[in-house]
Amino acid sequence: MTEIIDIGLVRYPGAQVSAVLGLVDLFGIAGNVASKRPEDLPRLRITEWSCDPGLAPVTPGVGQDVLLLPPALGSPIKAEAAAPIAAGLRSAHGQGTILASVCAGAFLLAETRLLDGRRATTHWAYADELAARFPRVVLDPDQLIIDEADILTAGGLMSWTDLGLKLVDRFLGPSVMLETAQILLLDPPGREQRFYSSFAPRLNHGDAAILRVQHWMQANGGKEAALAVLAGHAGLEQRTFLRRFQKATGLTSTDYAQRLRVNRARELLQFSQQSVDAIAWEVGYRDPAAFRKVFHRVVGLTPGEFRQRFHV
C-alpha cells in the first residue's frame, strides 16, 4: 500500500494566502513527478486548516505528518490570537507531527514554547521583535532554513519555496525535488542537495514516552546520551527503555544521538569556517578522532572530504 504523507497548511489570521496557494501547487507538481517514477513513492495529501475567524472553519485532522505555518502580511500575529492555535500545534507536535514555519509564521510557532532553547530563523526584519517577545529562542536570522528534524523554520517572505522543496526532498527524495524545482524554475537550495541523506527520525510511532525523549535529545543536539538520563526522561526502566526506543525509532539510543550530532556537524562544515576539531567539540565530541570515525560511518565521507565538496 502506498504511504500517504499528510501536510496541513494553517491559514491563521493574517497568513499570506498566495503562499498557501503556491505551496499547494508546489506539492501538487512534486506529487505528479513522483507518480511517474517506477518506485513506490509516498503520496502527498495536502489540506488547508482555517484558523482565521473571517473564513469558514476547517476542523484539523488527526495524525498530520506536517503542519506548516505560512508567512504573514503585515504585523506578526499577537499573543492573544495565537494562543488557541498554539495549543493545538503543541498537542499535535506531542503526537509526532512535524511543525514548520515561514517568515513571520515563526511568531505563531514560538507561541507554542517549543522553540525555547532551540535554533530558529525568521525574516531579518522581524528578528529583533521575535527576540524581544521570545528571548529563550536561539535566533539565527542569517540562516535561510534551519532544519531540526521535528521543527523547521524558514526566513524570508518567499522562502516558502525553499521550505516546500526541503519537505519534498525529505519525503519524496532529491531527484523528485530537483525536477520539481526545474519545472517551477526555482534554484534548489544548496542544503537540499547536501542533505539528501540527512537524518529524518521517526516521530509518528505512537510511543509517547519515547517521543518525549526524542524531542529532548533534539533540543540538546544529542549531546546527552547516557542511558540512565534518557531512561529517566522516559520514566522507564533502562532495559524497557532500550527495547522501546529501538522498536519506535529503528535505532539504538546511541546511534540516534550520533546521527543528531552528525547532522549538526554537516551544517557547520558547510557554512562555517571552524576547524574540524572545533566542530567536533561543539557537537559534543571531546575526541576528534572518534568524531571523524562516526562522521565517516554515517555520511560515507570524512569531514574534510565533505567540506571540500559542499562548503559554500
Residues 126/144, Cβ–Cβ less than 8 Å = no
Residue 135 has pLDDT above 70, yes or no: yes
pLDDT band (50, 70, 90) for residue 9: very high
| DSSP single-letter state for residue 221 | T
How many residues does this entry show for the chain?
312
Residues 18/155, Cβ–Cβ less than 8 Å = no
The maximal CA–CA distance of the chain, rounded, in angstroms, is 58
In the prediction, which pLDDT does 192 show? Answer: 32
Whole-number average pLDDT of the chain? 90
In the chain the domains, ranked by start, together with CATH numbers, are 4-194 (3.40.50.880), 200-312 (1.10.10.60)
Q: What is the mean pLDDT of residues 163-190?
A: 90
Neighbour count for residue 139 (Cβ, 10 Å): 23
- pTM score, whole prediction: 0.76
Residues 63-121: tens digit of each pLDDT: 799 999 999 988 999 999 999 999 999 999 999 999 999 999 999 999 999 999 999 99
Q: What is the mean pLDDT of residues 236-240?
A: 97
- Per cent of the chain over pLDDT 90 is 75
Q: Give the dihedral of Cα atoms 129, 126, 105, 166; nearest 10 deg.
A: -130
**Helix H segments across the chain?**
17-35, 79-94, 105-110, 127-133, 160-172, 174-183, 190-194, 208-219, 227-234, 238-249, 253-271, 276-282, 288-299, 303-310
Residues 285-307: tens digit of each pLDDT: 999 999 999 998 888 889 998 89
Would you give the end-to-end CA distance of the chain in angstroms? 41
Q: Give the dihedral of Cα atoms 245, 250, 254, 259; nearest 10 deg.
A: -130
